[in-house]
Structures are given as structure tokens and as C-alpha cells.
Amino acid sequence: MRLVISGGGEPRAAAVKAAAGHAGFSLRGCRVARVYLLSADPGEAAVARLVDAVLADPVTESAAVDPPLEAGPGVVVVEVGPLPGVTDVEARELEAAAARLGIEGLRVATATRFELEGDGLDEVVAARLAASVLANATVERFAVGGLDVEVTEPTSVGVDVVDIVPVRDLDGPARGELSRSRLLSLDAAEMAAVAAWYRDEGRDPTDAELETLAQTWSEHCAHKTFKALIHLSHEAADGSVIDKVTVDGLLSTYLRAATEALWPPWLRSAFVDNAGILAFDQFTDVAIKVETHNHPSALEPFGGANTGVGGVVRDVIGVSARPVATLDVLCFGPQDLALDQVPQGVLHPRQVAGGVVAGIGDYGNKLGLPTVAGAVLADEGYLGNPLVFAGCIGLLPSGSHPTVPRVDDRVVVLGGRTGRDGIHGATFSSAELAVDTAAVAGTVVQIGDPITEKGVMELICEARDARLYTAITDCGAGGLSSAVGEMASTLGADVDLRDAPLKYPGLRPWEVWLSEAQERMVLAVPAEHLDALLALGERWGVEVTDLGRFTGDGRLVVRHGAVTLVDLPVDFLHDGVPRRELDAVWRTPPPAATTGRLGGAVAPTDALLTILGHPDVASKERIVRTFDHEVRAGTVVRPLCGPEADGPADGAVFVPLGGWPEGRALAVGLGINPRLGRVDPWAMAVGVVDEAVRNLVVVGADPDRIALLDNFCWGNPTFPDRLGALVRACQGCYDAAMAYKAPFVSGKDSLYNEFAGSPIPGTLLITALGVVPDAGLAPTADLQAPGGVLYLVGETGPHLAGSLHAELFGTPAGAQVPGLCHLKPLARYRALHRAIRAGLVRSAHDPSEGGLAVALAESVLAGRMGARIELPADAIDDTSWLFGETSGRMVVEVAPEDAPGFEAVMAGEAVTRLGVVVAEPSLEVARGDATLIDVGIDQLVAAWRDGSPW
């Protein structure tokens, strides 16, 4: 039986028309309706009950039972529904609602019906429209004329079949073929190690063992590149070798090395758990994690980003913390790319952006977590391989996160049910994307279920406070195999999958074991606490299942009833992966002048307006407003600021529900700059650390209490040039962490970000987490009052190389990249912090892309107040002053009566009096007799906000 609910879909129809227009289709008419396919006819009265109770709103909607599929002359019907096995919360909820109404055993499938009209729109064109705009083949199916599917249970086949995979006697090429055909992503040395171990054992692996090894040894889980021995050849621009060094692991040489050298007293845990943990005060710890979900988002932007948020939130739950805020950083291809420039196998960047933004909003908003910070970039390098970084911050009582399971503790899984979702996510993320990836990897992307995760979140907080578990981790990539495998990495465990709750029957045992179904956690639970945990499950509506026990015999044993599918010693599983040895080359680029994308230099006012409309700088307001940044009522400095709430903010400042005593708050800042990385990855690394730290300093965070996270998204590290750039970026991370005395507490690498043989621009996201001692004093970027004195804190150098101005208008000879060498940033930031604490700072903003001119323009437009600026007459050229991207600088507004006090506090630091805030609605920048910039606020708003591509 089909139920079709019509009416009330006008906003959705308008969005479809707009999306179709962007994709080159012209729709004259579009009506959208919801379709429910029922497994049986429950009878007229029951249908009426269902319709009235939950399906059709009496004011705007009407219901039809089994209406004709066609919709009249000139109208083409397309219906789109989820593929079987894809999470369909709507169907599940309708089944539950039906049961609540006394209609038992009803099975439901859902679809969306589009009734389309347009000139030349026939069934062939409609099918193209459906394939490119209405449906995503990774998770959905569509039919022109109506989707008429039988709603049936999936059949049960092979549920207790375990296959033996011959590996022992394969030669090298055959092992390579096996790795490829099963999506194992293991290289020749790793496959050889697997074969050798099984030869010694005198048997071949089961399918489940092979998959378990592939997951555990994947780049995603084992970070083979960051632990590899690297031979780096450092070469001059002419190719002559300057020196050769051996790097004994990027992680231990640079990132962890900085942390261990610095280890401040407030650092609780770094690199060892699902998230980094630091002390907020004597009672509360803060956990933070940033992850990427790039490849899934390339194939199915909504689902990929959706589950990316879900995954990082679970990482934070996985250190027993209550998630309180999220952040997102997104890198897409050019939004205005011509349709015929989109490569085969790639979604248009506008579609990717639309889906990713919707997917993030869907998950974060439904979880009730504020999205407090983020960034959005566009670059041709991300066309085939967009980047989606998602971060989460959580709170826990100090020292309340248990990490050591005990022998005989139960292995408990809780949360969502297991389906055939996302098999091979870990190995898939460790492979390059290709034109046919979407077809091969059809099962790897999923749709999330935030409501289940919300229940898990609540349950875990209560279970933690009641001390019901001894260890916890989330089911991420690799599913149970990775979660149970990790947790049992010293004790070993014996689990039986027969009782694992499934979404539907028919899964093979190895699929249950490997499934990456979302919203699941694994806990080690002392047997005496099991009943209490089950009671919490009932209260919060979360399924809790006992799968087995931690044994203490050092073996990972997995059964399905009488069948054993895995029996491996944990030391081979976790330590058996051969260490990689890789070659890297870093060649210093020649200091060449470049021509700009838009030609040569233009008048500064024109350059400013052009840069303000650049995707990396322009307003993200239309995206930001689709994310709830207010929920939990603790966001103090929001992503948007000023009297019209449309100006850009630097760091975000927030408190938990109810706040903290004495007005203390957390702050988060971000730094990302792939443009600079193209010129010098080292400069990029120190630059983005500085940017993230400055984000915090300008909103009042204590510069002596900042923790950093690194997220590398890079190309295939087996190419020496990609790896050389990565080494150089890691060196920059070390140098910057030491200069700022800010330890890395967590990090993640996403490698193999290549499409059709080309790497993405090497991209490093730095996230900085800090503490604001008095949130009431936190400055924002918007100018506050006419008469205010504007200062520039920090020196300005000839730093146009790698700048946004250089990309657009060319790099002059002699331009340099910004660095650390001539700066003592920490002392300067401490001085500014003292000034903020003394109440001497009205507004503050940190120049980044576009330099000082853009920073001034942003403060002016945010505050709807003008400024009169007089640049100093020194040796630096006008363009470097206006658009150079020297790091370590901040624009600060001080009340005129506080100017002497401010200058006294900042004594010894480079502080330049730039000018004053004025009521007149324009920005004027002069140098000597020359007026460099003279532009009205309305022009700035038009360029930055109204002209934004987002």
C-alpha cells in the first residue's frame, strides 16, 4: 500500500528548483510529496488513525491512499528512496508510531515524490536530473514514473558461514590482487607479514581474521606513515642536495616530542586515547578531538559529513566526557565551476558544499550541540577530494575517565543496531579516490541517527557518574573489530556475535564484526554492574547487549554460536604490522615572482573589495545560520558579531550550561592556510599555529594555557615529494609548539587524499583550545565606539609570498613568507592579555588572509563604524602594509582615556598607533599624502556579505 502526503512542500520545491537550475536544468514547476510504502494494508480505519495522528497536518497537508503513479499531462514524476539497508529513521519512527496506535507488525519504506514540469523535460532528462540533483546513488535509488517497491525483510543467507581465505601459498602479485579485490589496503610487505604468520601457524586466515588485520593495520587506525622511518633528502632549488636526514617517526620526532618537552601541569592526557584531555580547573577536565571524513563526503556529502560529526562526538563520549560544543572546517572546490569542468565521477562543488552543510546541521542541531567555530575554503585542489573536518569538545569531572578493563569484565555494546553499513570505512579512507570508487565502495557511506547518539550520550554520563564501567571506546572505523580489538589489546577477549542486535537478518558473521554502523559504544563492565547499566538503557531508550568477557589470556576470540571466526593473539594483531620505511624529498622552491590569477596589481581599494569577496574571506553567514550556535545557552562570543550580528568573529568563547564561577570560559580558535603551504609547508605550519593561538588571544584567552590539535590532510605519502612536504610541515608544528609553549594534545592524519593521480594541496588544520579567565572582558572584532584609538600590535614585514593578494594579483620579487624567526610572539601575547584583563581593550581582531586592510575592513563593517588610518612611513611597501600576511599581529581598539594605560602595559612590544574609530561610515587608509583606501561601509558589506559565494 502507498500513502502519499501532499501539500506544505513549497520551500522544499523552491530549493529543488534552485538546485536544478544550478545543475543546468530549467524547471517550471515542482511539487514535493512524501511517500510511505506499507508492507500490508492495515485497514481503512487504521490508515485514517495513522494519517491523522502523525502523517498529515490538517492545515497544510492531505493524504491519498494508492493514488495513481502518474500525475497528469506534462508532468514527469520522479520518486527517490533510500537503498535497502541504509538507515531510514523516518520509516523506523512510523513503524513505532503505528505500533503505538495498535497497528502491529507494519513494515515501512519511505520515498520522496517530485512532480516536475519544464520545457523539454521528458523521462530521459528527468532521469538525468534525478541522478545528478535529486538522488545520490551511494545511498538512494530513484525511479522515473514512481518507485514501486515491495517492502520485504532482507533474506537470511550464509549467516553462520565463515570462509577460509587462502593466503599462505600465494605469491606476491596474487597477494596484491587479494588486497585490492577485498579492499584490504595492505601493501606488499604487510601482506607478506600476514602470509608468513599464517604459514607459521600452519593454517590460512578466516575472512573475519583477514578483515580484522586489515582494519587494525590500516593507515586510519595504525598511522603507519606517521610512525614510519623516513629518509629525507633536503635539496636546493637547483636540485643539489643540502643534507640528508633520517626521521625516526614524524609523531615521536615532532608532534609528541613537543608535547613531552612541554608537558604543562594542566595537561592530563595526550595522543593515547580517543581525545586529548586537559584540566579546566580543579574540578573539571576538557576533552577535545578533531577528525576528518573526507572520502565519504566526496561520495555522499550529506551522509559523509553527517556521520563525520557523529563520529567525532563519539570520540569525546569515548573519553567519558559530556560533549558541549562542535566545530567544522570545510574545504571545497570552486563554487562557480562551469558544469562542463566537473570531472567524471565527481559531484559539482556546489552540490558537495550543500550536502555537507546540510549533513553537519542535521547531526549537530539534532544532538543539541552548538557549532561554535569553523572555516570554509574553496580551492581547485579540493575539486575531486573535498575536506570535512569535524571537531567536538566535551567536559568531564576531573579524573573520572576509567581506562583499564579487568579480567572477567563483560564486553558490552550499546547504542544503535548493527547493519551492513560502512563496511571497509577504515581501509577505504586509506585509499585514493578514483572515478569508479563510488561503485566499488557502495556500502561505505552511511546516514547517521543523531537521536540514538543523543541517548547514548545521556546514558554514558550517568553510567560514568555511577562508575559502572572500567573502560570505554567508540565504534568507529572497523566497527566492533577495532573497538573490541583495541580494548582487549592487553587482556584479550572472547565474544559471541550471535546476540548482537541487528537492523535486519542476513549479515555474515564477518560483516557483523566489521560493520561500521554508527552510534555504538563498547564498554568494559564489571558483571555486578550489568543490571544497573541495563536499567539505564531502559530509561534512556538505548539497547545494551552483553557480548562476552575480557579473558586475560591475550587472545582475541570471536564466535558466532558454535562457529569461531577469529582466534588471534593480540600481540600479533597490534604489533605485527611491519614498520614502513619511506623516502621523502623537500626541494626549496626558487624565490620567484609570480603573476596573479587576476593579472597584475590594481588600486588598493579595488584589491580590498575583490579580496573581501574571495571565498576564503567572504561572509559564511548563510552557512553559519543553518548551524545552531546558541543551544546549551552558553555561547558568549559567537561566530557572528556586531550590531547587525553579521561580522566575522575570531575565536569562539563558551561556557557550559549554567556557566562557571568567576566568569571563566573556554575558547577555541582555528588556523588553516593551504595557500601558504603551496609555497612553504613549514611556513604554513607555524603560520596556522600562530593564527589559531591569536584567535584565542584576541578573545581574552590566557596565552599560557593553550593546547593544540593537528589535523593533516595530505596526498599519497609513498610519493617522496608529498612526504617531504609533510615532514617540513611537521617540523613547523614542532617549532611553533615550542615557541608558543603550547603542547599538541591530539591529532589525526588523513592521507591518500588524491583524485585521479593529483594530490590535494597539503592542508594542516590547527585547532587551539584555551581558557578565558573572565568572559565578560572578552573583546570581539567589531568596532565599539567613535573616538577609539586603533593600534597595531606586532611588526609588519614584506610578507606577500603565499598571501591571498599574491594569488590574485601576483607575487613581487623579494616577497617573503611569514615565519617565526623575527618574532617573540608569546611575550607579546602575554602583554596583550594583561591589557585585556585590565579592561583596556574595547575590540580586537587578528589579521589573517588579506592582511591588515581586510582586518580593518572586517572590524569596520562588523561594527558599522568607520576608521581613519594613517600607516607609518617606514621601509615596507604599501602593498605589504595593506595586504601582507605577517603573522603575530593584532588590531586593537582602545578607549582614548585608556590609551596611556594601554601603551604602558604594552611597553617593550611593537605597538603602532594606526588611527581612530569614527562615526562616519567609511574606511580611509592614508600614508603620508597618499590616500590608499577610501571606501564606504555599504561597499564593504556589499562585497563581503552580499557578494559571498556561500
Partner 1 sequence: MVSRPRIAVLHAPGTNRDGEAAEALELSGAEPAVVLLTDLAAGRTTLDDFAGVLVPGGFSYGDALGAGSRLALEVGHALSAYAADGARPVLGICNGFQALVRAGLLGGGDDGAGGGPATPRVATLADNAGGRFECRWVTLAAEPNCTADWVGGIDHLVACPVAHGEGRIAVRSLADAADLAGRGLVALRYVNRDGSAAVGAYPANPNGSAADIAGLANPAGNVVGLMPHPEDHVRDSQDAFRGRYPGRLARTLFDRFVARARAH
Rounded to 10 degrees, the C-alpha dihedral 617/621/626/627 comes to 70
The active-site residue out of 22, 220, 424, 833 is: 220
3-state SS class at 487: helix
**Which H, E and C letters describe 771-815, residue by residue?**
EECCHHHCCECCCCCCCCEEEEECCCCCCCCCCHHHHHHCECCCC
In the block, residue with C-alpha cell 586592510:
853
Which C-beta is closer to partner 1: that of 58 or that of 173?
58
Q: Which is nearer to partner 1, 407 or 645 (CB)?
A: 645
Nearest-approach distance from CB 641 to partner 1, in angstroms? 8
d(CA 428, CA 431): 5
- Please report how many Cα atoms fall inside a 13 Å half-sphere around the Cα of residue 384, on the Cβ side: 22
Shortest distance, CB of residue 479 to partner 1, whole angstroms? 23
Catalytic residue among 223, 231, 293, 822: 293
Strand (E) or helix (H) holding 289: strand 284-292
**Least CB distance from residue 639 to partner 1, whole Å?**
10
Task: Give me the sheet containing 744-750, strands edge to edge.
Answer: 635-637, 652-654, 665-672, 763-772, 706-713, 744-750
- Asked if 220 is an active-site residue, the reply is yes
Closer to partner 1 at the Cβ: 538 or 920? 538
Closest CA to 916 of 853, 858, 867, 855: 867
Q: Which three cell numbers stand for residue 569?
A: 593473539
Contact 42/93 with Cβ under 8 angstroms? no
Query: Exposed, middle or buried, 738 (CB in 10 Å: 0-12/13-18/19+)?
Result: middle
β partners of residue 648: 640
CB of 863 to partner 1, least distance (A): 11
Give the shortest CB-456-to-partner 1 separation in angstroms: 11
Indicate the SS3 state at residue 643. coil
- CB 541 → partner 1: shortest distance, Å? 5
Residue 738's alpha-carbon distances to 589, 686, 708, in angstroms, are: 26, 10, 11
Residues 809, 932: Cα–Cα separation, whole Å: 17
Instruction: Please report, as ranges, the residues that interact with partner 1 according to CB under 8 A.
Output: 8-12, 14-15, 53-55, 57-60, 89-90, 92-94, 96-97, 100-101, 361, 365-368, 449-451, 454-455, 538-541, 624-634, 636, 638, 643, 645, 657-659, 663, 775-776, 780
Please, are residues 159 and 510 in contact by the beta-carbon 8 Å criterion?
Answer: no
Residue 2 or 828 with smaller CB distance to partner 1: 2
As a whole number of angstroms, the distance between CA 558 and CA 513 comes to 8
Q: How many alpha carbons lie under 13 Å from residue 836 in its C-beta half-sphere? A: 29
Pick 176 or 773: Cβ nearer partner 1? 773
Q: Which CB atom, from 361 or from 576, has the smaller least distance to partner 1?
A: 361
Which residue, 226 or 627, is less far from partner 1 as judged by CB? 627
Report, in this order, helix, strand and coil percent for the chain, each rounded to 5: 35, 25, 40
Nearest-CA neighbor of 109 among 19, 252, 1?
1
Smallest distance, Å, CB 782 to partner 1?
9
Strand partners, 433: 755
Grid cell for residue 296: 565519504
Pick the closer one to partner 1 by CB: 409 or 449.
449
HSE, side-chain direction, 13 A CA sphere, residue 301:
25
What are the residues facing 247 on neighbouring strands? 230
Please say which residue, 533 or 911, places its beta carbon nearer to partner 1: 533
Choose between 139 and 933: whose C-beta lies nearer to partner 1.
139
Which lies closer to partner 1 via its Cβ, residue 531 or residue 934?
531
Candidates 885, 831, 893; CA nearest to 866 is 893
Using CB atoms within 10 A of its CB, is residue 837 exposed (0-12), middle (13-18) or buried (19+)? middle
Q: How far apart, in whole angstroms, are the C-alpha atoms of residue 328 and residue 291?
A: 10
Q: For 450-542, where are the E strands, in sequence order?
A: 471-474, 493-496, 520-525
DSSP of 845-870, one letter per residue? E---TTHHHHHHHHHHHHHT-EEEEE
Shortest distance, CB of residue 633 to partner 1, whole angstroms?
4
Shortest approach of partner 1 to residue 619 CB, angstroms? 14
Report the nearest approach of partner 1 to the CB of residue 399 (Å). Answer: 24
Angle, vertex CA 642, rays to CA 637 and CA 645, nearest 5: 85
Closest distance of CB 317 from partner 1, Å: 15
Q: Determine the Cα angle at 671 with ends 666 and 677, to 5°.
A: 165
- In angstroms, what is the C-alpha Rg of the chain? 29
Report the half-sphere exposure of 540 (CA within 13 A, side-chain side): 25
Query: Which residues are CB-contacts of 661 (< 8 A; sequence separation ≥ 6)?
Result: none
Size of the chain in residues: 950
Residue with smaller CB distance to partner 1, 77 or 94: 94
* CB 147 to partner 1: min, Å: 19
Residue with smaller CB distance to partner 1, 365 or 746? 365
DSSP state of 421: T
Taking the complex as a whole, the smallest distance from the CB of residue 359 to partner 1 amounts, in Å, to 12
In this structure, what C-alpha cell is assigned to residue 502? 541487528
Q: Which residues are catalytic?
A: 220, 293
